[in-house]
Structure 1
Amino acid sequence: MGSPSGPPFDPDDPDRARRERDTEPIPRIDPDEGPGYGSGPRLSDGPSFSDDAGYGDGPGYAGEGRSGRAWVRDPEAGYLPPEISEEELAGLRADASGATPRRVLPLEDEPSSLVARYLFPTERYRGEWKRHWVHLVTPIIVGIAATFVLGYLSGFLAGQDVGALTTIAVLLWFAVMGWVAWRVADWWYDRFILTNKRVMVVNGIITRRVAMMPLVRVTDMKYEQTPAGRALNYGTFVLESAGQEQALREVKNLPNPNELYLRVVEEMYEPQAVEARLGKEQDEAKADDGA
């Protein structure tokens, strides 16, 4: 019998322990006990590697993310994310001061007869708004000034026994007040309209003007507020479409511009979220009516 191959046994060899460890057989894992086999917890059942379970944020492999909440394991669905209570969601919806953001509500839940004629059947109505009352400041100031000036003038002329001039002053006052009433009526029929497909402006009493812009064509939208606008909560919307001048480019004196701006942007980028929220509100309203 020949001598065994390999180097002779040396008890003082420093590499002997390493060689014995490297040549140890690989142990077999029971399919019913080891992770990733059989009915035991599989590696694919845990949370995926995402920002919520990062490498540097603690025990990511144990199913606990940056929020400190442990994932819940369901025997059928695997690991499920932690549930967030309604109180926590309310905190996320609040702003830094702790107050919930204001909501800009439309005039009516359903389109008025003035607006309904311009909507096609598959279009979903989102709301209509009149311009801010500051739009009437100029005609109201003119009416008040005309009342004082022409009233004083007609009284003075009546004392001078000049009947013709007094009549002219009174007729002039009626003409000014008629112009003021016209401007107020024009403001009442002037509407900014939002649907799920476009924004519109309808105005005019005798000569009706309808301007619209599809939401998919809006390339840029902003609103501007002067110091007076910030104090009284109104602003001017500026809409751009493919760098061209449009009929609906500038809409002045809209109320609650920040909230209205967010509402239009949400309709542009998150229409599914709008549908879900409106559906939930309608269900809650029906439940309240049933109660």
Structure 2
Amino acid sequence: MGSAPGGPPDDPDEPDRARRQRDTEPIPRTRGEEGPGYSDDAAFSRGPSYSDGPAYSESASYASDEGRAGYLPPEFSEDELAGLRTDAAGMPIGPRRVLPLEDEPSSLVARYLFPTERYRGEWKRHWIHLSTPLLIGTAATFALGYLSGFLARQEVRGLTTAAVIVWLGVMGWVAWQIADWYYDRFILTNKRVMVVNGIVTRKVGMMPLLRVTDMKYEQSPLGRLLNYGTFVLESAGQDQALREVKHLPNPNELYLRVVEEMYEPQAVEARLGKDAEDVKADDGA
């Protein structure tokens, strides 16, 4: 492209100079459109400050209804937060996983506790423990009842009387098993676990909590359905008075009780103290 007649000759660097001038020209800005955290005094000395600018304001482009959902804090239900709330003493105020502790032992158990021992609870075995005696009693009733009626029609009085005596003997044995089940108790204190059973001959087995090296409970499918299980206690690989305790009710709740007593006795004492204060407050009200 030639120069105009009479004018200065064309400068070959003129297009590059014009382009550089255009690229380095500052961009005009109006008040309110300044970037977040950049001042005129120190343009890049401080770095971006997200507290000054509109980065998280409602007018930001990514704070729309669709984008804002990604920045909302997670929401928790009241049930999920209940286990995290504590009272002034630091105890959870949410739903308990263990049932309240009993206040006093029964007269059957109290005689086996020494004065400084703190009682935690006692449990009778699950009613499934009586399934065998009850089935035998039911079968004997039907069988011997039918046999007695048949012998009575045959007018064999001696055998009829013998059948009735056998039935009474079976019923007596069933009643004995029921009484033995009633007096059979699993006991937990702050020092030991105990099993007390027997009617005429009493048997008392115990194991100190400090010597329990392993504890587990087992539940069969029927046990899970009816809520009973078998506890197995190990004590340093030695023979002990009680190792396997069958047909205990609420095994999960009982397991938590024993484990808490073994590893968190202070928590048990704190809960007992709190319960006692609540009772006194209720009585005062």
Normalised by the length of structure 2, the TM-score is 0.67
CA distance in 1, matches of 2:80, 2:279: 23
Alignment of 1:129-278 (within 5 A): 129-278=123-272
C-alpha separation between the residues in 1 aligned to 2:271 and 2:280?
14
User: Residue type matched to 2:129 in 1?
Assistant: H
Amino acid at match of 1:198: R
Shift of 1:204: 0.2
1:289 counterpart residue number? 283
Which residue of 2 is the match for residue 15 of structure 1?
none
Query: What corresponds to 1:90 in structure 2?
Result: 82
Q: Percent identity?
A: 79
The CA deviation at 1:287 is 1.7
Question: SS at 1:109's partner residue?
Answer: coil
Does structure 2 retain, via aligned residues, the 8 Å contact 1:123–1:195?
yes
Distance (Å, rounded) in 1 between the aligned partners of 2:211 and 2:150: 60
What's 1:119 paired with?
113
Please identify runs of 4+ aligned residues in structure 1 that moved more than 3 A: 86-89, 99-106
How far apart are 1:114 and its partner, in Å? 1.0
Cα distance in structure 2, aligned partners of 1:270 and 1:209: 30
Q: Give the alignment's Cα RMSD to 1 decimal.
A: 2.1
Q: Is the 8 A contact 1:102 1:259 kept in 2?
A: yes
Counterpart secondary structure, 1:251 = strand
Higher relative contact order (CA closer than 8 Å, sequence separation 6+): 2
Q: Secondary structure at the match of 2:133?
A: helix
Q: Which of the pair has more CA radius of gyration? A: 2
1:43 paired residue number: none
Stretches of structure 2 lacking an aligned partner (at least 5 in a row): 1-72, 86-93
Cα distance in 1, alignment partners of residues 80 and 147 from structure 2:
67
Give the letter for the 1:242 counterpart.
Answer: A
* TM value normalised by structure 1: 0.65
Q: Distance in 2 between matches of 1:228 and 1:103?
A: 23
Q: Per the alignment, do residues 274 and 89 of structure 1 end up closer, same or farther by CA in structure 2, a change over 3 Å counting?
A: farther
Which structure 2 residues correspond to residues 13-28 of structure 1 after superposition, within 5 A? none
CA distance in 1, matches of 2:80, 2:174: 51
Residues 241/154 of structure 1: CA separation in 2 closer, same or farther (3 Å cut): same
> Is 2:98–2:257's contact at 8 Å kept on the other side of the alignment?
no
- 1:290 Cα shift? 2.6
Q: For 2:172 and 2:206, how far apart are their aligned partners in 1?
A: 30
Instruction: Give the 3 Å change call, closer, same or farther, for CA 123–158 of structure 1 in structure 2.
Output: same
